[in-house]
């Protein structure tokens, strides 16, 4: 049909050629589609990196969010007038190793293995909803009070003590425990308020290899709250 019309109208061949030329395709939005493909390709490379190097990415995201959140909290929430570098170092170490590496092990390895939300065929797991509830409860009501938050207090105590961590590690741990045992419920309450709804999203929607990245981005705001709370609790402890 096209060849018949081209024969009947000699000028139509030029129109058809122009229509399917690179410039013609561009005018029809193919270039914009190519731009979209390039963006998708870049996003795919980021996704592939998180799948190939999950632990490294977890620790990177952890360190970045820990430093950023602590500095932002001191500048905008606490308005201390100067940056407490020891506090920044403590949050950086905690966010990199216990919170960064730890969340990779928990969210990327243990949870998907024992509480999967999808099957190997990519279909919803029969126990999907129950497993989401289990992961949210386990992380917030077991791991947070038993590991995530105590490790923060231990690192803060170690940073505050300096070289004491090498000469008297028992003193450092005892100091951290004494403080945490008196503040644990208040600290955990803030954690539960923030992370119970957030982790409902983490474990139900976010792909497994992006869980740590997602929680790190959300932690930029939650750690600001924890940092502010730690400063307030520290001032109360000094006054008392």
The ranges assigned to domains in the chain are 1-52, 54-239
What is the pLDDT, as a whole number, of residue 3? 42
Q: Is the pLDDT score of 67 beyond 50?
A: yes
Q: Where do the H-state alpha helices sit in 53-168?
A: 54-72, 85-96, 102-103, 111-114, 128-138, 149-161, 164-167
- pLDDT tens by residue, 172-205: 999 999 999 999 999 999 999 999 999 999 999 9
Q: Is the pLDDT score of 84 beyond 60?
A: yes
Q: How far apart are CA 54 and CA 165, in angstroms?
A: 30
Across 131-153, average pLDDT:
96
Entry pTM: 0.73
* Least confidently predicted of 21-30, 78-87, 152-161, 174-183: 21-30
What is the pLDDT, as a whole number, of residue 127? 97
- pLDDT tens by residue, 104-127: 999 999 999 999 999 999 899 999
What is the pLDDT, as a whole number, of residue 203? 96
Give 23: exposed, middle or buried? Use CB within 10 Å, 0-12, 13-18, 19+. exposed
Burial 154-177 (b: 16+ CB within 10 A, else e): bbbbbbbbeeebeeeeeebbebbe
Helix H or strand E encompassing 31: helix 30-52
- Residue whose tokens read 């620790």: 59
3-class state of residue 121 by DSSP: coil
At residue 223 the predicted structure's pLDDT band, cuts being 50, 70 and 90, is confident
């Amino acid at each position: 049909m096209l060849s018949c019309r081209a024969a009947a109208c000699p000028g139509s061949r030029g129109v058809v050629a122009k229509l399917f030329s690179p410039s013609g395709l561009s005018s029809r939005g193919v270039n914009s589609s190519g731009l979209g493909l390039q963006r998708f390709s870049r996003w795919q490379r980021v996704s592939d990196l998180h799948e190939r190097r999950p632990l490294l990415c977890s620790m990177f995201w952890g360190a970045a969010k820990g430093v950023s959140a602590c500095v932002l909290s001191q500048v905008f929430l606490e308005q201390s007038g100067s940056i407490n570098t020891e506090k920044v170092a403590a949050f950086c170490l905690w966010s990199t190793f216990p919170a960064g590496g730890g969340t990779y092990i928990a969210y990327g390895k243990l949870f998907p293995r024992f509480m999967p939300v999808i099957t190997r065929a990519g279909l919803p797991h029969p126990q999907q909803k129950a497993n989401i509830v289990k992961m949210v409860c386990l992380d917030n009501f077991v791991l947070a009070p038993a590991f995530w938050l105590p490790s923060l207090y231990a690192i803060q105590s170690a940073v505050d003590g300096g070289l004491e961590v090498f000469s008297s590690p028992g003193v450092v741990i005892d100091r951290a425990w004494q403080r945490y045992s008196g503040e644990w419920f208040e600290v955990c309450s803030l954690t539960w308020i923030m992370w119970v709804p957030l982790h409902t999203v983490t474990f139900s929607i976010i792909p497994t290899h992006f869980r740590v990245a997602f929680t790190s981005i959300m932690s930029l705001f939650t750690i600001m709250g924890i940092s502010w709370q730690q400063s307030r609790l520290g001032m109360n402890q000094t006054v008392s």
